[in-house]
Structure formats: structure tokens, C-alpha cells
Amino acid sequence: MRHIFWIAALTIPAGASCQPLHTPATRNIVVFGDSLSAAYGIPREAGWVNLLQQELQRNHPLYRLINASISGETAAGGRQRISTVLRQHQPYLVIIELGANDGLRGANTHDIETNLGDIIAQARNGRAKVLLAGMKLPPNYG
């Protein structure tokens, strides 16, 4: 649970005012990930995205969390759909949690980095801040 608050602390600027969700000042945070963010195989309410959403609702209602994660998603798949998500939600912040499925499938690390780089560039071009969640593959995956 400590990691959820760490992520929330990184995403909320110091001095941000807490306003009701219906005000024009609401800022969208998009989680753009795979099954780890989509809470695959566990109750949705136990997933990290839901826990972060609860924390934001309690302490930072200015921010609205949108989970645009898809189980099984790869960095290549995310690269293909990021523009639609950005257009639809116009996020203030995009939390990117992709790459694990690429690694599990033996994708070339250069291709993974290129796809993640393009996702980050598109989000920044849309004036969103970006938080890239890193992960390590088990050593037996090369």
C-alpha cells in the first residue's frame, strides 16, 4: 500500500487545491497499462489503480483517474491506441505501465524502448505529464 501513496505523491503538485469533481478545474490522470493495472485475476477493488483512485477521491478530488489499461497489452499495442486515449480524455498526467507482456513474449528490448518512447512523446505532445512505471523481468527471460 505504501507504493500507492508514493505514486499519488509524485502525481499531485504541491499546493494543489482540492475542488469537487464537477468543476472545470478537474484534471484527468490516465493509467495506460496491461493486466497489472487492469487488475486481471484479482478483485478490481484490490488493484493498485482502484486503491490510487480511492486515495485521490479522499485527499485530492481535483483529480479524476481513468483506467485505460487492457490485459495482455504490449508496448506496440499501446503505441497504436495512445492517440485515441489522449484525444478522448485530454489527460493532465499519463501513468504508463507497459512492457511486461513484451518481455514475457521475448520481444526485442530496442523495439520495446522505441514503442514506449513514442507513447511518451505523444503524451508529452498532448501536453500531459508522464510517469513511466518500471519493472524487471525474471532473469530466465533473457
- Kindly report whether the global pTM for this prediction surpasses the value 0.85: no
Residue 12 within any structural domain of the chain: no
pLDDT digits (tens, 9 = 90+) for 80-112: 999 999 999 999 999 999 999 998 898 998 999
Total domain count, the chain: 1
Secondary structure of residue 33 in the 3-state scheme: strand
Residue 123 within any structural domain of the chain: yes
> What residue spans of the chain are helical by DSSP H?
2-11, 35-38, 48-59, 75-89, 100-104, 109-125
Distance CA(119)–CA(83), nearest Å, equals 8
Residue 142 within any structural domain of the chain: no
Residue 17 within any structural domain of the chain: no
Residue 69 within any structural domain of the chain: yes
The pLDDT value given to residue 82: 98
In this structure, what DSSP letter does residue 132 have? Answer: E
Residue 61 within any structural domain of the chain: yes
Contact 78, 115 (CB under 8 A): yes
Query: In terms of residue numbers, what domain contains 120?
Result: 25-137
Contact 41, 61 (CB under 8 A): no
Residue 104 within any structural domain of the chain: yes
What does residue 27 show for φ and ψ, rounded to 5 degrees?
-115, 130
Residue 113 within any structural domain of the chain: yes
Query: Residue 81's domain is classified under what CATH number?
Result: 3.40.50.1110
pLDDT digits (tens, 9 = 90+) for 109-140: 899 999 999 999 999 999 999 999 987 777 77
